[in-house]
């Protein structure tokens, strides 16, 4: 699991609520265990770019699966 620079910036923001930070960490663990989570949806026609809702309507997490290199990269967090 690799966070993009944009994701690192969001997670380092002191204004990010503890609840949202915790939800993002929980999703990160879940994605690392199974990047093809049933709650995720494809963001492209191939399905390697995925989007997953953050619990309790807090936003979305977007990530890309690089199966060839066995890497999942968090690309964006969209807080609501």
Query: What's the CATH number where 67 sits?
Result: 3.30.2310.20
**Range(s) of the domain holding residue 25:** 2-79
Residue of 3, 18, 17, 19 lying closest to 56 (CA atoms): 19
Per-residue pLDDT of the chain (80 residues; tens, 9 = 90+): 899 999 999 999 999 999 999 999 999 999 999 999 999 999 877 778 999 999 999 999 999 999 888 899 999 999 88
* Contact status, residue 75 vs residue 9, Cβ threshold 8 Å: no
Number of domains observed in the structure of the chain: 1
Entry pTM: 0.86
Three-class SS state of 21: helix
């Amino acid at each position: 699991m690799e966070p993009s620079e944009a994701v690192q910036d969001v997670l380092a923001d002191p204004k990010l609520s503890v609840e949202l930070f915790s939800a993002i960490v929980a999703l990160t663990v879940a994605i690392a265990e199974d990047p093809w989570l049933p709650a995720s949806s494809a963001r492209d026609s191939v399905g390697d770019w995925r989007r997953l809702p953050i619990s309790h309507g807090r936003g979305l997490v977007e990530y890309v699966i690089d199966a060839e290199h066995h890497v999942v990269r968090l690309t964006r967090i969209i807080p609501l």
